[in-house]
Structure 1
Amino acid sequence: MTHTPRTARTPTTPPAADIEECLADLRERWARARRGRQPATVRHRAGERTVPGYVRHWARERPDRAAIVTGGQSLGYRELDDVTGRLAGWLADRGVRPGDRVAVCLPTSVFFAVAFLAILRLGAVHVPVNPMFRAAEIRHELDDSGARLVLSFEPLKDVLEEALSGSEARGVLLEDVWADVLAHAPLTDGPVDLDALAALNYTGGTTGLPKGVEHTQRHMVYTATAIQNGLPGAEDGIVSLCYLPVFWIAGENLGILAPLVSGGTSVLLPRWNPAEVLRLIEEHRVTTMAGTVENYLELLDRPDLADHDLSSLTHPLAVSFVRRLTPDVRARWRAATGGVLREASYGMTETHTSDTSTLGFQDGDRDLLGDPVFCGLPVPGTDIMVLDFGTGKPVPPGTPGEIVVRGPSVLTRYWRAPQATAAALRDGWLHTGDIGSLDEDGCLRYLGRNKDMIKVKGMSVFPTEVETLLARHPDVRAAAVVAVDDEHSGQLPYAYVTTAPGSALTADGLREWAAGAMAAYKVPVVEIVPELPMTPTGKIRKTDLAARAARGRP
């Protein structure tokens, strides 16, 4: 389960003695609970290297093993290492230096994976940009990151040209230069500083437009190793089927980092396709994949499910966004495939998303019988506590409070946002704003998200970002966005908008305009109102608006 932290509450620093006493008790509980279920440490048998360093290692150890498979194309480790080096050399010849930000605006593809690895090999900074974005959204991330180069592809040519208009960044369509890239001499050796800035992963928040989350290659390697940690049969490398977008950090983990760091195979699918999923699992002997509960139900309902050999899929992971993983769903999956379906993990962009493991808690559906959503134990090396929102003190087992996280993959800081960093990172702990509880074993249960965040089919939509974008329409005076429940998407953004005097702007007209200004899943239901309810201190009464939207009436 993946979430993004919100930091709108007034910071409270808990007493250090309370924290250390609670932490000592929790670590004893975690040690007892891990026995027979999960390893106590996270170690990689190939040692600690950069991410491209692992590709180079496996290119020597298993050169012909498929590293990446997608769209009928397969790259072995030797070939992947070679083309990564050639693109890194090509970028270096065009003036890209260590520390420079390079944006990658591409869908899930071999191009994306090679660009990601080449940027890291060069010691530059990877800035993934959602290719579903409109020009204004792309421009924000380019301007904020200071990216000097954008790697993209032909279908995005027009929107990219609009986003780059007046910008100092340059755009490159990889199809146009790929022959030159393949002919270029490879850059074989790059910087090896695991703690240097390696990526800016943009995430929304409660104030303004998305912020860049600073991550290093050490964060990436720890996350990749933690994902593999303790999975039976994964010692020879994970074979991961990923149809999550790899420009999201969860897709990066499952579609690039975990399989390639482990010496396994990444099977990439550009989008969810149940028939293709079944075919690819069988053809490539996929061992793990992550999908929503709805994805698994769709597979279970297919009449041809029994025609496919899914015995290799020993670690299918579910994400409970709209539908929840239940004992009934698990029983159906076990009866159909013989495998055990379990919840993925708790995490967020700020922690590289894989902070817990549910491995080993499925006997008797123990993980599904308490409060949802069961997220399991912190991965070794990571600490998780639950604090009282008001006092900042640890709460007893079973008591809800704010989830805080400390570990080797927690962000270094927010890019050029010292106030947001100070609010979120306190004494080494990331304050997530999420609500959860710890049970008697110290297992985390996620109980709810911050009231401001909206989940549309599992994708995070932040009201302030939508409000900011809507406010760019010349006739919009103010906008307030709240969540409204939806049986198909889980939730939808609902915008109450006031317009300038004399404006003829309609709700349909603003929605049409918004469709050109933001990704489709962010476009809100719009209601034009004469005024917004305000508090005596001049703030919008969003609780009133949320209740009004829930009632379904103006």
Structure 2
Amino acid sequence: MVMTYTQSEALYLQELRRRQEECWPADRPREAQYPFGERPITEYLREWAARDPQRVAIEFYGHTITYAELNDLSDRLASLLEERGIRSGERVAVMLPNCPQFNVAFHGTLKRGAVLVPLSPLARGGELQHLLDEADPAALIVLDALWPVAEPLLAGRNVREVFRVGLAGVLAQSPTLPLPELLQAAQAQTVSGDDLLPLLRQVTPRPQPVPELDSPAVINFSGGTTGLPKGCLHHHRDLIYTSASYCTVALPDALPLSERPVMLSFLPQFWIAGEDMGVLFPAFLGATLVLLLRWDVQAFLQAVPRHGVTVTTLLVDQVDEILNHPQAAPTDFSSLRQVNAVSFMRKLNPDYRRRWADLTGSVIAEASYGMTETNTCDTFTGGFQENDFDLNSQPTFVGLPVPGTEFKICDFGSGALQPFGTEGEICVRSPAVFKGYWHERHDPSDLPGGWLHTGDSGVIDEQGLLHYLGRRREMLKVNGMSVFPAELEMLLGRHPGVAGVGVLGRAHPTRGDEVVAFVVPRPDSGLTPETLSAWCRDEMASYKVPTVHFLDELPLTATGKVDKKQLLPRLAEVAGGNA
């Protein structure tokens, strides 16, 4: 009897690799490239500081930090932590907004051999208490304005050292970009003597042992959109692998080091994607990072031509804002080479891509599939934009695995391999898979075969390309048929009159679940719930057609995702039928 590929994992992966090889973009390398070898990301910073010390590492509203300075400041922080008794393996919590000091704290903590724990600067009360309970830090690096929020929660904890950070010390005398309110307030402040940066200048840096690749580096908290955040432990090897594998295929012009990118990031650095884009990837590539404290369309429009930005990642919400801004047309976008978009509230569609190309001359692509547990950036979509192949494919197209990462689709119940084209659970095997939740650390035997079962629903199509359908726990059953909110959000996002959408489900007496779409219509679109419902009946299977409710705005998390927990009261309020 001939064995089919679904009866053997070895045959399945062999067949999958064959199909992926056939559609692999010709201009994308197939092996991860490590310009300075497989070494900790802190050693890449040290290498760039030696090779190109005066290159700008961080550009922050006119204040610049060179690679030599960033390396020196992080060396001094490592020595300061040593002076204050912070030992290797102890946790250092960092509660900062986007600012150069975050990058200093990141590299300095890792150089000391301690474990960095980024905390959301928006966390308050019970949420912050939970994060501190999980991390149990020995030290806290905190924005001075947030100290009154954090201080009451430190009583009875093991936090031995607190370092306060002010923003006045990283403000240029003549800022080159519009300042957000937090930086405007900092203009009226003076740099205090106990501020972290003055403290570092008094420290004599001492050599620190180079961290082992398989030692703990960072604890990243999961988003907590469906429950309390959990701390995901990542090792140094995870960080450098993520940088090498993603940059190799997503930024092929930058490796080998023929082009040093200028990267703009406003994504929150405490978030896993912001850590990648605003800390790891610039240090890996020796890039200049144009760092924004937060998103601001005016700052973006001025920063791109001023600094010759070549690479950036935007939410589709920001793409929409740029396209509709009156100052966008005269802006020089000619430096842009690689622009990725993340579909949260608004979804990338062919109309956005066409308008973006007309405005900037660059092609915009969906970013990647990933999760905090895998250090994110597990796939790439570059090379599939011709004729909108990616956007016209089954939602949501997330492409091919980065080099060194593997996927398979299994049945949620039995774990059996699913044929290509069949829905099931996305399973991933990667060098960057987390080493467990901080208080539930596992050994390799806890992940049989090294496979992480993500809880996400997806499909690997006949070409070997991955499509993300959504979280299984969000899956709805309508008359026995599976409906994935993320798929419907992507489909609804293709309507030109839809500005944002969040899809949930509620119990129905005869159908099992009822699909409910909360929609923010685009102003002056003329869209009504009735016309959108009619469009849905033409564009999707009848059992997927949602009950449509219009909202003026959708609640969002700190990272820009639709906060569905906050939509639940609205779900309970609305009655059947359109509104």
Q: Give 2:18's aligned residue.
A: 28
Q: TM-score scaled to structure 1, two decimals?
A: 0.79
CA deviation profile, 1:445-493 (whole Å, cap 9, x unmatched): 1122234499999999x9xxxxxxxxxxxxxxxxxxx997433499xxx
Cα distance 1:138–1:552, how it changes in 2: closer, same or farther (>3 A)?
A: farther
Equivalent-residue separation in structure 2 for 1:156 and 1:397 (angstroms): 50
SS of the residue 2:329 aligns to:
helix
Matched with 2:456 is 434
| Runs of 5+ consecutive residues of structure 1 not aligned to the other structure | 1-14, 463-481, 491-514, 528-544
Find the partner of 2:325 among 302, 327, 336: 302
Match of 1:228 in 2: 247
Match of 1:174 among 149, 165, 168: 165
Matched position secondary structure for 1:309: coil
Between the aligned partners of 1:520 and 1:402, the Cα distance in structure 2 is 23
Tell me what 1:138 maps to: 128
SS at match of 1:307: coil
State the 1:366 CA deviation.
0.8
Q: Secondary structure at the match of 2:453?
A: strand
Task: Select the structure with the greater relative contact order (CA < 8 A; seq sep ≥ 6).
Answer: 1
Classify 1:75/1:390 alpha carbon distance in 2 versus 1 (closer, same or farther; 3 Å). same
Residue of structure 2 in register with 1:123 after alignment = 113
Q: SS where residue 412 of structure 2 aligns? A: coil
Does 1:373 pair with 2:396?
yes
Residue of structure 1 in register with 2:301 after alignment: 278
1:140 match: secondary structure: helix
Question: Matches of 2:223 and 2:81 in 1, distance apart?
Answer: 30
Equivalents in 2 of 1:78, 1:550: separation in Å?
61
How far apart, in 2, do the equivalents of 1:47 and 1:156 lie? 39
1:378-457 matches, within 5 Å, as: 378-417=401-440, 425-452=447-474
Q: C-alpha offsets along residues 345-392 of structure 1, whole Å, 9 cap, x if unaligned?
A: 000000111000111111111111121111110001000111122221
Hey, what does 2:173 align to over in structure 1?
none
Secondary structure of residue in 2 paired with 1:210: coil
Deviation at 1:427, TM superposition (A): 2.7
> Residue type of the partner of 2:35?
R
Residues 482-533 of structure 1 show CA distances to partners (whole Å, capped at 9, x for unaligned) of 997433499xxxxxxxxxxxxxxxxxxxxxxxx9xxx996873685xxxxxx
Identify the residue that residue 472 of structure 1 maps to in structure 2: none
Q: How does 1:479-490 map to 2 (within 5 A)?
A: 485-488=517-520
Equivalent residue, structure 1, for 2:316: 293
Mean alpha-carbon deviation: is it higher for 394-403 or for 186-195? 186-195
Distance in 1 separating the partners of 2:229 and 2:470: 22
Are the counterparts in 1 of residues 226 and 565 from structure 2 also a CA contact under 8 Å?
no
Measured after TM superposition, the shift of residue 433 of structure 1 is 0.9
Residue 177 of structure 2: aligned partner: none
Task: Sort the Cα spacing of 1:216 and 1:301 in 2 relative to 1 into closer, same or farther, 3 A.
Answer: same
What SS class does the counterpart of residue 195 from structure 1 fall into?
coil
The TM-score with structure 2 as length reference comes to: 0.76
How many residue pairs get matched?
476
Note if contact 1:371-1:447 (Cα within 8 Å) is conserved in structure 2: no
Alignment-derived partner of residue 498 in structure 1: none
Offset, 1:137: 1.7
Q: Which runs of 5+ in 2 are unaligned?
A: 167-193, 476-484, 490-498, 505-513, 523-556
Alignment-derived partner of residue 6 in structure 1? none
| Aligned counterpart, 2:566 | 524
What's the secondary structure of 2:140's corresponding residue? strand
- CA shift, 1:440, in A, is 2.1
Does the 8 A contact of 1:101 with 1:125 survive in 2?
yes
How far does the alpha carbon of each residue in 1:302-359 deviate from its partner, in whole angstroms, 9 at most, with x for none? 1221222212211100111222211111111111111101010000000111000111
- Tell me the distance in 1 between the aligned counterparts of 2:403 and 2:141: 36
1:11 is matched with which residue? none
Q: Aligned partner of 1:435: which letter?
A: S
Inter-CA distance 552–252: structure 2 relative to 1 (3 Å threshold):
farther
* 1-structure distance, mates of 2:373, 2:50: 33
SS of aligned partner of 2:468: strand
Query: Quick one: distance in 2 between partners of 1:264 and 1:361?
Result: 26
Match of 2:229 among 210, 222, 242: 210
- CA RMSD between the two structures: 3.3
Q: Retained in 2: the 8 A contact 1:413–1:421?
A: no
Cα distance in 1 for partners of 2:292, 2:383 equals 29
Distance 1:150 1:483 in 2: 44
